[in-house]
Amino acid sequence: MKLFKRIIYYKDLRLFSLTFLKLSQIYTFRFLKKDHLFFSLVPDAENKYRRSRDAQKIIRYADICILLFRKVGIKDTCLTRALLYCCALRQAGFDVKINFGVKKTKGILAGHCWLKQDIEKNSDFKVIFSYP
């Protein structure tokens, strides 16, 4: 019931359905082992206009979609989140990029991906690739 009340709070059904569809595509590619198709989901260039949505609203909608998938037992990763955020924000006209980085701690190599928008925050991870 708590989840249902949260969903009702979000009234922009178009944004919710587009975000949910994009996340479904990401999970489908992951399930089918078609990871090489992930980047085909990200729009090539950001839209020239910015709709009335703000970035925080888009991220909240993406988080609610991820929560719904988590409720049925599908786990998310930093890659899944970064792809979904990047797709949704670029479609709304925000210029964001996905950074991929690595770090080595006590002989263990770890990887991570995150979004970059305008200002780069300091991170322990060394950026090895940025898309798009």
Query: Would you say residue 60 lies in a domain?
Result: yes
Tell whether 83 is covered by a domain: yes
Answer whether residue 84 is part of any domain: yes
54 vs 112: CA distance, rounded Å: 26
Is 114 part of a structural domain of the chain?
no
Whether 104 is covered by a domain: the verdict is no
Q: How far apart are CA 63 and CA 76, in angstroms?
A: 11
In a domain, 130, yes or no: no
Q: Structural domain tally of the chain? A: 1
pTM for this entry:
0.73
Contacts of 8-15 with CB under 8 Å at 24 or more apart are 10/60, 10/61, 10/64, 12/53, 12/57, 12/61, 15/53, 15/57, 15/58, 15/61, 15/88
pLDDT in tens, 31-89: 777 766 666 666 665 555 455 567 888 888 888 888 888 888 888 888 888 888 888 88
Domain membership flag for residue 10: yes
Is 36 contained in some domain? yes
- Whether the pLDDT of residue 129 is over 60: the answer is yes
Structural domain of 11: 2-94
